[in-house]
Structure 1
Amino acid sequence: MRYALYYWSGIQGRGEFIRLALEDAGADYDDVARDQGDDAMTPFLEGKHEGALPFAPPFLKAGRLVIAQVAEILQYLGPPLKLVPDGDSRRLYAHQLQLTITDVVAEIHDSHHPIASSLYYEDQRSEARRRAKDLRENRLPKFLGYFEQVLERNGGRHALRQHSYVDLSLFQLMSGLDYAFPRAMQRLKRELPLLCALSQRVTERPRIAAYLASPRRLAFNKDGIFRHYPELDDPR
């Protein structure tokens, strides 16, 4: 199967969770918008293409299938890419964990855009400070502590006792938070040894290491989900 990934060309964003799975598995795929420009997504988003109607990118084309939403795409890709264990219970658990990652990613986005995505950050700076403070002090410890417990309950090395797309997504989550909130993460990571070790192991996987060293891995920037605004981080 040759896959076609559709996502905005200038950012990692939510598309990166899909891209990491494709890269780790050595899958044959086209990164369509990066090759053809963002307008390549328009026929799908306007309903001028056969198949399901995606609300927004990322979406994946696999044969005649059009699949949207990060967790849904990864649930579909997991079995053929061998990135999820066999058995309904473990595949459901993987999907549950990915949906929880989706929840925290949404809260991270809303820390810099707490009023409206249509407004610039500068138009909601004071509200963002309040939202980011709650994220750093309450929400991130809760979410990351949960994933630390998940790892502990499954032997310490993997979220599902073997390598899966959930491990890759946890790596991306930790990497994005290190960029966005470096001071807060320095504090929080003292209580997250298993998550930190998992993230390091993911970087050492041969295909991921090659991908991270390549130009295909875009740098984090202030247009994506994970944004570094010093005033939203822990005080110095």
Structure 2
Amino acid sequence: MTQKLIVGDMIRYYLQQNKMTIKELGLKLGKGESTVSKWINNKNMPMAKDLSAMTHIFNTDIQTLMYGANETDELITKTGKVMRTLTPDRQQNVYTYADNQLKEQQAGNVIAMPTPDDNFAEVSADGVLSAGVGEWLDGTDSGFMVKVKKPLPDSYDYVFQINGHSMEPYFKDKQVVFAEEHEEYRNGQIVAAIVDGNAYLKRLDCDGETMTLESLNPEYPNINVYEDDDYKILGVVFA
């Protein structure tokens, strides 16, 4: 049976186990926070060299990092091997200890499993980005609360909710995204931009004289930005 790739979940697990932030992992790998965030959220797949580097950082192996591991079965196998090398009286000591642990567990002395809500955090959104024909955003609107999956990015300047379908399949309607301000912006980046008071989520294409905000969904038009337009790029967007 084909195993399911769970790289993003495993990276998140190892970050928590090692008390490491997305930024710290990115620095170790020479990657930006947005790149690592996309791995964790299963938007992109790490390259082979990055997977190899993470096995050393997290002290694990490539199979576990990509597919997870049944640690319970591995522990039982290791315990059985140790038991067979012990004398009978020491085997009895191990059994007695294990039996007492089982009784404590059955009595309720166990750590509670996290509930689904523990995997999400509430943050204040700065507004709505249009993945369509435009969404008014003048900076005077009061924020509203949205739920996002943990862990949150270590660095971001804006939180937006998407309205529309022009950036599918990569960004979906009602999805919550983050944006980070940069000093310079490059062609191909997904940006949050305001044009004449309307906020957009689009891909940037600029040839030096004209600027186009492109839709990834071919069913939606691009937005052409001219010299006399009032526009501003707020930041590079990532999930």
TM-score of Structure 1 vs Structure 2, range by shorter chain? under 0.3
Larger relative contact order (Cα-Cα within 8 Å, sequence gap ≥ 6): 1
TM-score for the superposition, normalised by structure 1:
0.25
Q: Highest CA radius of gyration, 1 or 2?
A: 2
Larger proportion of strand: 2
